[in-house]
Structure formats: C-alpha cells, structure tokens
Amino acid sequence: MRKLLFFIPFIMFVALSVFLFSGLFSDPRQLDSALMERQVPKFQLPDLMQPSKIWTAAELKGQPYFLNVWGTWCPTCNAELGFLTELRQQGVRIVGLYYVQPLDAAFGETFDINALQQEVQKKLAEQGDPYQFNLVDEHRTLIFDLGVSGAPETFLVDADGVIRAHHVGDINPQNWPELAQAYQQLVRK
Amino acid sequence: MRLITMLLCFVWCLQLWATEEILPFSDPTQQALFRELTHELRCPKCQNQNIADSHAVVAVDMRRKTYELVQQGQNKDQVIDYMKTRYGDFVHYKPPVQWSTIWLWLLPALLLFGMLIFVLQKNRQQQTSVIETEPSSLDAELQAMIDEVATKPDTVAGDKKP
C-alpha cells in the first residue's frame, strides 16, 4: 500500500506529460462545427456569374455536395483550387461560397460585381474551376450563419441539406481520403 | 515653456482613446451590455482574443451582429445563444457545465478534498504516534526517578543544603 502511494506522483506526472504531449500535435483551428447534423441555414444568395439568379437552400438539395468557402484574396484557397478541380473531374460536386471581405467606404471601396466576376474568372482560368457554380455572399450572412471563421472552410452537405462534415483549412491529397469516405457513403445512399 | 510642452504631450496622448470604434447608443445599459458581451465573446479566428480586441473579419462581423442584437433589445443570454448556435460553445469564454467539462469544476474540488483527507490523516498519525511513544522505557525510568524522589523528599532537600 505504501509503495503504491509512492508511485502516485510518478503516475500523475506521466499522465500530465501524455496530455501535454498530445496537445503539441492538436490543431486548435479544428473546431467542431456547431451546425453538425443540422440543416444548412436558410439563405437567398445571388449566383456570382449571373447575379439575377438567386439560390436558396432548398434548391441545393437532391444530391450531396461540398460547400467550399473561398475567395481570390485567400492564398490557401487558391492553392487548393487545383486539387478540387481534379475532384470535380472525378465527379465530386462542389459548390463555391464566395467570401467577400469587408469593404471600407472611407477608402472609397465599393462592391463591384463586374470587377469581382473578372477577377474570379481569371483566377479559375489559371488554377482550374472546381465549382458547379458560386454563391456570392456580399454581407457574409450565410457565412456568419454557418459559423465560418475564415477561408478556406468546407462543409459536406447530404441530399437532404444536412451538414455531415466540416473541414477547416485546405483540402489536399493527405486529408482527402477521410472526406472522400464520408462523401461516398452519402452518394451510395 | 516646459509646462506647455508637457501639456501638449498629454493632449497628444488623448487622441489614442479616440481610435476605438464609435457606436451610438441611446441607452447606457445597452452600451454597458455591448461592452460586456464584446469582452466575453471569443474570436474564433484569433483564438485567445475577445471580439472587442480582434480585427479579424469574423470578429468585426460578430461585433456588428452583437451591436445589432443589443439594439434590438435582446438580453445577454439571448445574444450568447445566438453566437453559440453558429460558432459553438468555443465562442464564449465561460464553458457550459457538461459531462466533458465537469472536470473543470470537479478536479479542483477533488484535489482540495484529497489534500484535506491527507492532512487530517497525517495529523491523526502524528497524534497517535505521540501517545504511543509516551510509555517507553525512558519514560518509565524517568517516572521511577520521580517516584524515588517523591518518596524521600527530606534527603533530596537535605542534599541541597550546605
């Protein structure tokens, strides 16, 4: 019994070490989305290329898709465009949600959809176009409702419009298999 | 002249206070609530900064939304719930009491309890050990000496006399 007591501090030390050591490799950005297993919030957002077309949450239902939050101003998003384009060629459905950064009226910045269209077209021509279409969220309303903290972020949505997976950061060949498995499961349903 | 320069320096510093965003409030309690909320809500992007402190786009948006909701007359819990349904429990500095977080409260209490038990047990051990050592051979010897002196008090007293 006394010997056991003697080892208690040692055991506590080892437990603490393991806990802190595992913390070295955890990614603090990987937070569970509060919207997991919940419906995509209601929205009404224009198509980036044809602003007269207004998309709603209901219209996107029917088949599973990835909702990819991105912007040309975001280097990591640009880096993943190539890989996402490969995925599109394999038949993966990806919808873009364009993250418009806040504009400062004091500096004479105004939202110009035409300039944005040109910029996006140029970028997608360079890097590849993985998107079926893009929603443009000028005031970041859907982005806010989705709890997006930055770009890129990707949500996997099933055919009923329920969010099934959430990924922060770029999608690349290393982390794709896990998402691919989740996607294939939804497709097979 | 020196006084004037010093005063000028002071006036110069005053400008720094003006850098904070100026939002109009008609109700001072709402203003206080807004201040409280922006200091308690956590920026999901620049973690470990509150939204009052952060310049990340998401923090700016959260601040604006907080302002909007407070202006609508929502109370503190309503605003926090609004943020939590979007950004999760992470977004509030005070974690909710759940099975996964119960240890935050339980562990210090358990530790304190354990230490209390330890101290009490140690105390009792010491007390019992003191009682145990009393009737030792040395004590018996001492008692014998005392008894010896007590039975013949005259001789002892006489010894001390010159």
CB pairs under 8 A between A and B: 40
Do the Cβ atoms of B12 and B18 come closer than 8 Å?
no
Q: What are phi and psi of A101, to 5 degrees?
A: -75, 155
Residue A63 CB neighbour total at 10 angstroms = 11
Q: Smallest CA–CA separation between A101 and chain B, in Å?
A: 7
Q: Is residue A137 part of a domain?
A: yes
Compute CA distances B149 → B47, B134, B135, B144, B153, whole Å. 81, 21, 20, 9, 6
Q: Is residue A100 part of a domain?
A: yes
| Domain CATH code at residue A63 | 3.40.30.10
Q: Is residue A21 part of a domain?
A: no
Compute CA distances B153 → A17, B141, B146, B147, B148, whole Å. 70, 18, 10, 10, 9
| The listed CATH number (1.10.287.3610, 3.30.110.30, 3.40.50.300, 1.10.8.640) that belongs to domain B24-91 | 1.10.8.640
- Round to whole Å and give the CA distance between A119 and A57: 26
CB-based contact, B61 to chain A, within 8 Å: yes
Please tell me the least confidently modeled range out of A114-118, A139-143, A171-175, B157-161: B157-161
CB-count exposure of residue B122 (10 Å: 0-12, 13-18, 19+): exposed
For the stretch B87-133, pLDDT in tens is 999 999 998 888 888 989 999 999 999 999 999 999 998 887 766 65
Mean pLDDT of chain A: 92
Q: Is residue A135 part of a domain?
A: yes
Q: Smallest CA–CA separation between A28 and chain B, in Å?
A: 8
Q: Is residue A59 part of a domain?
A: yes
Residue B10 pLDDT? 63
Cross-chain residue pair B57–A33, CB shorter than 8 Å: no
Q: Is residue A54 part of a domain?
A: yes
Q: Is residue A15 part of a domain?
A: no
List the domain range (segments joined by +) for residue A64: 27-188
Q: Is residue A9 part of a domain?
A: no
Instruction: Find the distance separating the first CA and the last CA of chain B, reported in whole Å.
Output: 93
For the stretch B27-71, pLDDT in tens is 899 999 999 999 999 999 888 899 999 989 999 999 999 999 999
Q: At what angle do helices B57-71 and B76-87 cross, to 10 degrees?
A: 150
Do the Cβ atoms of A38 and A146 come closer than 8 Å?
no
Average the pLDDT over A7-15 and give the result: 92
CB-count exposure of residue B34 (10 Å: 0-12, 13-18, 19+): buried
